[in-house]
A and B are shown apart, each in its own frame.
Chain A
């Protein structure tokens, strides 16, 4: 069956350099640098990545960071809370725009 998303494609991610090597190299080295232990632990970064993956609804990233957070010792509860953070920000981002709507209502209403 043909589908747009195939889990096998995640393994081909590193091959994007075949079409544009220098940019891919820079991206992957930047990526590696970002996820290193720093002011945030590698575990905290992985949970952020899991939340962002859900906000972006990227199935590859969801697979990758579900595994990565489990490997880093997060449990299901922590992972679900991270997803709720993403959901809250997404929901909040919609709702907070309603202030613009409310402004506009005021502006054009008698």
Chain B
């Protein structure tokens, strides 16, 4: 399977995606995300103090998951340079309100400067939580990645990993053949160095997202089910399960349209709009940095090429906290994915 970009698919073009989100929105502009925010007094959406610095180290990935909002894969060559990482480090050092540096991709570990970057962050900010969104299979993809669990442990990195289900059939249908088995092996390796074990201080969280055009169920119930099944069948332990709603962009949007589920999925998101979740959307306390150093309100806006609405500080090299903290967050109808039901963010439910 190739990325949409390599297929020269029209949905690899953010403008095309935005046109669909606007023109095919159920109820039209009267039921847009902006209208929903206006009704609850949240428009324009403003940031709260900056806590999370999410950095996309590149779109390269060893997997090609069907739902991937990054359109990542082995055929993507976009990767963050050390120069941009250096600029990120300066911000991580100067922005004292930051509590978390969230490293994502693609497979962030495939960036040749990944280890140097993690060690540098740890050195300048011993206090911050460093999160790595690790797809698990990367640990086994090449011998040079086999020691990642040990590297993570040494740098006190928190590991967040996707596992759509505790059976092979569902996991592989979303993430590719053989992914489940390799993920289980990788989880065992992480457990071996202490990740996910009670009182080890080494955090291993899993991410669940529905494998189709439906919403995630209760986070706590699914967590209990995953814990039981993974422990009983494989002796695997982890800390928490985050449920994430699939956002209607990129490859998931392509799936929705191809399977004729787009309108009904959007109707579902609309019907489940939750004002409490809307007040807690993650873009309020996050800045997302693209592989090329541009700044976005969140990873989803990044993929839609919706840069922060602050032209003077839209690149990391022009970072200006005062301007950023008073910006207006850029929204569109994909945002309904963050506000449905219990809400959804990179850290699971919101409300």
**A and B bound?**
yes
The verdict on B320 contacting chain A, using a C-beta distance below 8 Å, is: no
Number of interface residues of A (CB under 8 A): 12
Question: Which residues in A have their C-beta under 8 angstroms from that of B214?
Answer: 67, 70-71
State whether B169 touches A41 (Cβ < 8 A).
no
State whether A42 touches B221 (Cβ < 8 A).
yes
The verdict on A84 contacting chain B, using a C-beta distance below 8 Å, is: no
State whether A72 touches B165 (Cβ < 8 A).
no
The verdict on A25 contacting chain B, using a C-beta distance below 8 Å, is: no
Question: Which residues in B have their C-beta under 8 angstroms from that of A38?
Answer: none
Q: Contacting A41 at CB < 8 Å: which of B208, B212, B221?
A: B221
State whether B215 touches A71 (Cβ < 8 A).
yes
CB distance from B63 to the nearest CB of A (A): 21
CB distance from A101 to the nearest CB of B (A): 43
Question: Which residues in B have their C-beta under 8 angstroms from that of A41?
Answer: 221
A41 to B228, CA, bound (A): 15
CB distance from B261 to the nearest CB of A (A): 11
State whether B218 touches A42 (Cβ < 8 A).
yes
Within 8 A of B (CB), among A47-85: 67, 70-73, 75-77
State whether B217 touches A75 (Cβ < 8 A).
no
A42 to B214, CA, bound (A): 17
Of chain B, the residue at the smallest CB distance from A78 is B167
State whether B210 touches A43 (Cβ < 8 A).
no
State whether A72 touches B167 (Cβ < 8 A).
no
Question: Which residues in B have their C-beta under 8 angstroms from that of A71?
Answer: 210, 214-217
Q: Contacting A72 at CB < 8 Å: which of B169, B170, B212, B218?
A: B218
Question: Which residues in A have their C-beta under 8 angstroms from that of B170?
Answer: 75-76
State whether B212 touches A70 (Cβ < 8 A).
yes
A77 to B208, CA, bound (A): 19
Q: Contacting A75 at CB < 8 Å: which of B165, B215, B216?
A: B165
State whether A43 touches B225 (Cβ < 8 A).
yes
Question: Which residues in B have their C-beta under 8 angstroms from that of A37?
Answer: 221
CB distance from B86 to the nearest CB of A (A): 43
Question: Which residues in A have their C-beta under 8 angstroms from that of B225?
Answer: 43, 73
CB distance from B198 to the nearest CB of A (A): 23
Question: Which residues in B have their C-beta under 8 angstroms from that of A77?
Answer: 167, 169
A40 to B212, CA, bound (A): 26
State whether A73 touches B222 (Cβ < 8 A).
yes
A77 to B212, CA, bound (A): 16
Q: What 0/1 pattern do residues 151 to 170 of B give for CB contact below 8 A with A?
A: 00000000000000101011
A67 to B221, CA, bound (A): 17
CB distance from B270 to the nearest CB of A (A): 12
User: Can you offer 18 A-B residue contacts whose CB atoms are under 8 A?
Assistant: A41-B221, A42-B217, A42-B218, A42-B221, A43-B217, A43-B221, A43-B225, A70-B212, A71-B214, A71-B215, A72-B221, A73-B221, A75-B165, A75-B167, A75-B170, A76-B169, A77-B167, A77-B169
Q: Which 5 residue pairs spanning A and B have beta carbons closest together?
A: A72-B217, A71-B217, A73-B222, A71-B214, A70-B214
